[in-house]
Amino acid sequence: MMKLPSKDRLPRPTRRLATDHFGSGTGYARILLLLATTLAAAAAPKAAEFRAGTSAIKITPSKPIWMSGYGDRNHPSEGVLTDLWAKALAIEDKRGTRIVIVSTDLLGLTRSITDQVSARAQKQWNIDRANLLFNSSHTHTGPVIKSKMAMFELEPGDQAVVDEYTRDLVEKLYTAIGSAMADLEPATLRYSIGTAKFSVNRRQFTPNGVILGVQPDGPVDHGVPVLEVRKADGSLKTILFGYACHNTTLNHYKISGDYAGFAQIEVQKKYPGVNAMFLLLCGGDQNPNPRRSDALAMQHGASLASGVAAAVDGNAKQDLKGRLRAAFQFTDLAFRVHTREDFEKETKHASHFNRLRAKVMLAGYDNGHPVRTLAYPVQAIRLGDGPVVVALGGEVVIDYAIRARKEFQKEKLVVAGYSNDAACYIPSKRVLGEGGYEADFSMVYYGQPGPFADDVEERIFGTMRRVMRRIGAK
């Protein structure tokens, strides 16, 4: 009977084969560890493209205060219809670059305020000025803040209330930025566009010139750009949305955010836990239509919120990735030539507002620095491979958004006015030539010397091209 070989007598090749395949116990463990690591890496979620944080701080006046927007008001506010808010959205990319967008339910922020806050933010969090964008909803039922506007000449007690509110506002803006920075967490950004159709061009042509009315065939922009910020689990964190329309539905003595305030409230009702932020676009010559009741402000707010929801809940949106980039530059806009005699004559003008403007202008002549130019801020922020936000100071008419999209056709462009400074209206060459409130009369209320020189649009677009090149725009 043939004997089977004992284990000790296994053929050597078989032994080598067993060793070559499995190795020692230690080697086997290494292979198992490598396999487990590979499987875990495959199963692990990808690192988020961005981190984002958000905040909201109430800036509703705590006492009666004079209100901005209309020159015919003759006493302080009487109660509150909706609270006002300062909100911030901080975004950080994989390289550690951060941008912060601050929205406010106010007529506008002056450069003296935004300079203070941005300087502190740069010192505290190393946020470059170019990476910090301030925007205001331009509600006409918000408080007066300290500025050189020639609309009101307040009694000392009323001025003290305004000064106190302005000092407190600076602190709250700074706090909003800090709270958003402290809230940074992994996030996904998505971009889409909705629609709302209640805005109308207000430059109505009549035999006696251009008036503030309704011009149905005038240029408008009904787009509602929407930026969604979602947490790592996919839940909504922040919704930033924009629209090009004056917040002038209301004209009474109750503090409110007008249609933009109601829109934010409605968005937050539909998406509980979300911080809804509003960005005012180029609405300088756009009004809500119809106007002049709380019900209409609520109606327009609901309409805008529906446009936002259609974008958020729709399928036509882009997940953003890539770098954040920003650029910021001032350019000097020249006013038309004026003389001291012009304003000496204006001191005898029938209008109280013209007399106030003359007082401001003559003070400039007295100290040897008559107002000849305006330092004008132009900013561009690239959100990865998604939209580029062009932020322009003042009350910018819709022509700027229309032309910018034509010049930068390869970019997803969002053009916002009312950003970083609220110095006056910014007319296009067309509007300047046609005349009317946005071109001329409004300068009285803003305490500016008069219309801009004819090259105002070209100066702004020249600077816009420079900041766009610095962020790699095509």
CA nearest to 221, candidates 386, 416, 389: 416
Q: How far is CA 13 from CA 6, 28, 187, 205, 448, in A?
A: 15, 20, 57, 100, 97
Tally of CB atoms within 10 A around 338: 17
Rounded-to-integer distance, Cα 36 and Cα 76, Å: 70
pLDDT above 50: residue 31: no
Q: Which amino acid is at 342?
A: D
The segment with the largest mean pLDDT, out of 5-14, 46-55, 121-130, is 121-130
Q: pLDDT tier at 152 (50, 70, 90 boundaries)?
A: confident
Poorest-pLDDT segment among 9-23, 219-233, 320-334 = 9-23
pLDDT above 60: residue 4: no
Q: pLDDT tier at 474 (50, 70, 90 boundaries)?
A: confident
382 with 325: CB under 8 angstroms? yes
Rounded-to-integer distance, Cα 257 and Cα 250, Å: 9
pLDDT above 80: residue 149: no
pLDDT above 90: residue 252: yes
The overall longest dimension of the chain from CA atoms, in Å, is 135
Residues sharing a CB contact under 8 Å with residue 217, sequence separation 6 or more, in sequence order? 201
In this predicted model, what pLDDT tens digit does every residue of 313-355 receive, in sequence order?
999 999 999 999 999 999 999 999 999 999 999 999 999 999 9
Helix (H) or strand (E) holding 469: helix 456-470
Average pLDDT, the chain: 91
In this predicted model, what pLDDT tens digit does every residue of 58-94 receive, in sequence order?
999 999 999 999 988 999 999 999 999 999 999 999 9
Rounded-to-integer distance, Cα 279 and Cα 399, Å: 18
Residue spans per domain, the chain: 50-322+393-405+414-421
Helix (H) or strand (E) holding 179: helix 156-182
Q: Which amino acid is at 445?
A: Y
Q: How far is CA 398 from CA 225, 283, 385, in A?
A: 15, 6, 25
